[in-house]
Chain A
C-alpha cells in the first residue's frame, strides 16, 4: 500500500515570499517516484516537479524545489518568490515501481493563496 499525507488544507503567503507545502508519505515499494501537481481554478492538472526515491540531490525546477528527506519520508515543495499566479491547489503524489505500480496515490491537497 502507499499513502500520501498533506496536513495543510490551506496556506497563505505574501507575494514575492517563499512558501513550503508539506507532504509525508508511506509505501512498501523499494523504488518510487514523488510528484507535485498544481491545479488552478481552471481545473487542469499541471505537473511541477519529480523526485526519485534513489536521487541523492533534491530536485529543482525554476522556482520550485523539492525538499526530500527519505528517512523522514517527507517530500515538501518549496516555492520561492511567490507570484499571484501561484494561487491554486497543490497535490503531492507518488507512484511505485513494483508493489504499487500502475496507480498514483494523491494527498488531499493544499490550497495556496498568494496575497498581493
Chain B
C-alpha cells in the first residue's frame, strides 16, 4: 500500500537560507507525487507535482522537488527562504487503484521562517 512519511514535523530556518523539507514514499510502483502548501486560514494549494516526466520538478514560489527512486524520496527544496514561505507543507501520493484517485497525505511539516 502506498504511504508517505514526512520526516520532520517542524522545520525552522532564517530568511535567506535554504529550505529542505523531507518526504519518503512507499509504493510498489513509480507513483505520482505532490507537494501541497497550506497557509494559515487558507486552502491547500498545489506547489508542484511529479508524474514520471522529469525527475526534477519546479513549482511555484521558487520551490522544487527531486524524485529519487533509489532513495524513495521526494524532498522539497528552495534556495532562499522568504517570510511568506511560513506555512504547513504536505507530501501527497494518490492511492493506487483508487477509482477516483483518493489522495494519501503525509502528516505535514510546519515551516517557520525567522527574520
Q: Are A and B associated in one complex? A: no
